[in-house]
Amino acid sequence: MKNLHVAAAVTVLATGCSTLTPAEDPVALRMTDLEARLIRIERVVENQSLVELSNELERLRSETTALRGELETLRGIWRYDANKLDQVFSPKERYASGNRNPEGFDFDATGRIFVTQHGRDQLHENWPKLYTAEQGFNLPAEEVTILKEGAAYGWPKCYYDGTQKKLVLGPEYGGDGGKAVGDCDKAEPPVAAYPAHWAPNDLKIYKSEDFPAGYRGGAFIAFHGSWNRAPETQEGYRVVFQPMSGGNASGEFETFANGFAGVADAALQPGTAKHRPTGLAQGPDGALYVTDDMGGRIYRITYGSGAARQ
């Protein structure tokens, strides 16, 4: 079972975009449709058919209004009072916007909330003229952000390029393969970034003194593992540790626990992996618990001799 994240008085709920490819994402599909219809309008203008032009413009206005409404209730994080009944989901409870699949949440000792974010997929497959196959394997980065009330984190307009270390425009919004930034420089950047497609499903800030001092205040992140790096080797399928200080990464991340997949790299796919880490929890004794949604296991990781702790 996956651990839940519940604050003492307030619960923060995430409703990020599901793990859809741009070809499956309903909003991305709608944007593509709107672009096609704009092209049709240009052709109508060329043919000087004013009645047809008027009808198409009216339909376009209606679709655009509906799309804006969807963006107000998708791709964000909402906040609700855990002690209050009969609350209703609506745009006004949105705490932050532009979050894509924000699945891992935790507070540090000062009250800052850290959140993981899945990067988008299939840049090369959908825009081969803008992205090489290698860029598709390695873009965009996975993220850890600090959650701030009212902040915007970029999705779906922007993505984080881990090579350039900045947010850039997506191809649906005028992006040109990573050069154009547009107003993405106004979005909140991550405090740490990781290899593309690793899928950060959970995050836990370590607050116990049972592990060595270097782990205190740092972040453990459970990476579920990639599915779309073929023909390159699939990656992730591990738990990493990210040193943190003052709300920022204070060093390079390191692999903390690996070997979950249990198959050779050449054969690794989501369906062939024997185990996939997905959830994290810290026990009262300082142990780190890791849940596995492929093999149905819960792993308990302790420091020192287990026998001595009985």
Q: What is the mean pLDDT of residues 30-55?
A: 64
Q: What is the mean pLDDT of residues 292-300?
A: 97
In 3D space, the residue among 105, 89, 80, 75 whose CA is nearest the CA of residue 15 turns out to be 75
Rounded-to-integer distance, Cα 29 and Cα 54, Å = 23
Q: Is the dihedral of CA 204, 209, 210, 216 positive or negative?
A: positive
Q: What is the mean pLDDT of residues 54-82?
A: 74
Phi, psi of 136 (to 5 degrees): -65, -35
What percent of the chain is modeled with pLDDT above 70?
76
pLDDT of residue 232: 86
Confidence of residue 224 (pLDDT cuts 50, 70, 90): very high
Rounded-to-integer distance, Cα 189 and Cα 48, Å = 46
What is the 3-state secondary structure of 228-255? CCCCCCCCCCEEEEECEECCEECCCCEE
Q: Indicate whether 283 pLDDT > 70.
A: yes
Reported as a single tens digit per residue, the pLDDT across 126-173 is 999 999 999 999 999 999 999 999 999 999 999 999 999 999 999 999
Q: Which residues contact 127 (CB under 8 A, 6 or more apart)?
A: 171, 177
pLDDT of residue 52: 66
pLDDT of residue 44: 58
Q: Which residues contact 95 (CB under 8 A, 6 or more apart)?
A: 12, 76, 77, 78, 79, 147, 149, 150
pLDDT of residue 285: 93
Confidence of residue 222 (pLDDT cuts 50, 70, 90): very high
Tell me which of 63 and 87 has the higher pLDDT: 87
Sketch the domain layout of the chain as residue ranges.
10-16+79-121+136-148+193-309, 26-73
Cis ω for the linkage preceding 212 (within 30 of 0):
no
